[in-house]
Amino acid sequence: MNLEIQNRAIENREVELKLSLPPTALAALRQHPLFVAAELRGAAEVESTYYDTPDFALRACGIALRLRRAGDIRQQTVKCAAPSTGGLAARPEWEQGWSGHFDFSGVTDARVRTFLVDNAARLTPVFNTRFHRETRCHSGAGVCIRLMLDTGAILAGERSEPLCELELELDAGTPADLFRLAGQLAATLPLFPDDRSKAARGYWLCAGATLERGPARAEAVTLGRKQTPVAAFRDLAESCVRQWQANVRGALCDPASGTDPDATPDPEYIHQLRVGLRRLRALLRLFAPALPETFAAIWRRRLGDNARSLGGARDLDVLCDAVLAPVLAACGADHEGLARLSAALETARGTARVEALRHLDLAAQGRLLLGFMAALHSLPEADARRRGALAALTERRLDRALTRVARRLAAARGGDPARLHRLRIACKQLRYGLDFCAPLLRRKAAARYLKTLVKVQNKLGYLHDVEVARQRLPAVAGAVPELAAAAALVLDWHAPCCRKRCKGALRNTEALLAATPPWRR
């Protein structure tokens, strides 16, 4: 049973932006001019108990039920799940005074009310939150935002997790106003947008830190034919932001993410983070005609700079795992030169990972995320809602991407590595475009077309990996003859396969260009 509620169907809802911050930054926050200028509305010790059935039926349906006590006030609150991006959530909510027993008569959604009534007899406490809340109010022309600073803990049995977050709740204004205020605060404070509610974090503790693990990959695309181009762009961009945001936290081994803070992070976090940034840049290119020119240009550059700062670690991961590993398997792990080269590469890989994490500063990523989300929610909704506007735009842009592939194929026929790499990038941009537009395309035709495109990408990707190895190995080998000989062996071993895959990639690209694209009617 899926009880996730569409926001537009609910009158009672909160629109809030959640920001995490380290406890060491609390003093700086309290001294920030915007925080000081915000009118103090009160402070209280707050204790909440969250209820569910023994089999967590409410969590499975996206419902959170809590009893909260703040001073002499006791309240019952029901919330429903809603998508959260960049820390922004608009959750359906029903709040009422506590009369000594659960009362769901005020829940206006019949499905939710019936579900809660049916399960009322099985409800039991599952976890608690205890925190100090300081509430302030920031107001301006048409804008009223509550700032709620919560410091305390989330507790589930013997497990606990510290709580230190700033919630910006919208009373009047737009989501862009929330992001603008957050961006002003984040300019000098280490704030990071957090999509996890207190309830989600409590359930994570109840499950023994087994929920929400692993690198975040690209989400399945949802797109409506009747959407305007700007609305479609915003939805797709938010899916890329969620991938970017989740992998930043995972890569930095934040204790709240479920990873050991002393452990080495899974390198896939960095890879999927870069994938999210590349997809977002490809999306900006795809929808460029529907966006303000400065918006697309500025953010493609800023996101590209962000991704490039993390590229060295990924290159060495691929060199070790995809280029050197098969040679080691073929020649034997006891090959002394290859073993020494492998050890040297592992050392370089470790150094590159440390350097990547140094660049992956949580506060800097938070500022970039908040800046992008503020710009995204400030986009004008001026595009016409004429029928087929979205399909017409994506068809033109996919045609343009395919033309770019054809042009770069002609330049790459001589086998020059740099030109093959440019062909690879063009194919990747076409692939991302197909992924984004999949709901608008003929499904079977798109699947056949994509199958050929994946073949091209895989072969060109292999060629690029070996070329990167050709550039990187001399620096790792240095002036040590044994290491230089091992590096030459690795490249020689891959040479026949490179020639074969180069021919195959060019042949597959020709087949791709000869096929009828699935976006053409």
The amino acid present at 405, given as its one-letter code, is: V
Per residue in 49-63, pLDDT tens? 999 999 999 999 999
Length of the chain: 521
Q: How far apart are CA 494 and CA 391, in angstroms?
A: 43
Parts of the chain belonging to CATH 2.40.320.10:
7-212
Q: If 0-12 CB within 10 Å is exposed, 13-18 middle and 19+ buried, where does residue 36 land?
A: exposed
Query: What's the token pair of residue 241?
Result: 């932001």
Per residue in 469-482, pLDDT tens? 999 999 999 989 99
Parts of the chain belonging to CATH 1.20.120:
218-310+360-385
Is pTM beyond 0.75? Reply is: yes
Is the per-residue pLDDT at 255 higher than 80?
A: no
Mean pLDDT to the nearest integer, 464-492: 94
Q: How far apart are CA 425 and CA 504, in angstroms?
A: 17
List phi, psi (to 5°) of 127.
-165, 170
Pairing of strands 143-156, 124-140: antiparallel
Average pLDDT of the chain is 90
The number of beta carbons lying within 10 Å of the beta carbon of residue 152 is 17
Per residue in 327-355, pLDDT tens? 999 998 778 899 999 999 999 998 888 88
> Cβ distance 106 to 34 under 8 Å?
no
Which residues fall within 8 angstroms of residue 177, CB to CB, at 6 or more apart?
A: 143, 145, 170
Is the per-residue pLDDT at 258 higher than 90?
A: no
Domain 218-310+360-385 has CATH 1.20.120: yes
Closest to 411 in 3D by CA, of 398, 400, 425: 425
> Which pLDDT score is estimated for 257?
40
- Among 68-82, 86-100, 139-153, top mean pLDDT goes to 139-153
Q: If 0-12 CB within 10 Å is exposed, 13-18 middle and 19+ buried, where does residue 250 land?
A: buried
Per residue in 387-426, pLDDT tens? 678 999 999 999 999 999 999 999 999 999 999 999 999 9
> Cβ distance 512 to 453 under 8 Å?
yes
The number of beta carbons lying within 10 Å of the beta carbon of residue 442 is 13
Half-sphere exposure of 258 (CA within 13 A, CB side): 21
> Which pLDDT score is estimated for 5?
38
Q: How far apart are CA 71 and CA 52, in angstroms?
A: 24
Parts of the chain belonging to CATH 1.40.20.10:
314-348+386-514
Q: Return the percentage of the chain with pLDDT > 90, whole number.
A: 76
Per residue in 80-95, pLDDT tens? 987 788 889 888 899 9
> Cβ distance 237 to 193 under 8 Å?
no
> What pairs with residue 398 in β-bridges?
none
> Which pLDDT score is estimated for 213?
64
pLDDT band for position 275 (cuts 50, 70, 90): very high
Q: What is the CATH number of domain 314-348+386-514?
A: 1.40.20.10
Q: What is the CATH number of domain 7-212?
A: 2.40.320.10
Per residue in 193-243, pLDDT tens? 998 899 999 998 998 755 456 899 999 888 888 899 999 999 999 999 999
> Which pLDDT score is estimated for 225?
87
Q: What angle do CA 79, 82, 84 make, to 5 degrees?
A: 120
> Which pLDDT score is estimated for 3?
42
Half-sphere exposure of 67 (CA within 13 A, CB side): 16
> Cβ distance 314 to 271 under 8 Å?
yes
Please give the C-alpha separations between residue 100 and each of 247, 366, 407, 464, in angstroms, as whole numbers: 43, 42, 73, 67
Per residue in 95-123, pLDDT tens? 999 989 999 999 999 999 999 999 999 99
pLDDT band for position 8 (cuts 50, 70, 90): very low
> What pairs with residue 135 in β-bridges?
42, 148
Query: What's the token pair of residue 276?
Result: 């999210």
Is the per-residue pLDDT at 386 higher than 70?
A: no
pLDDT band for position 322 (cuts 50, 70, 90): very high
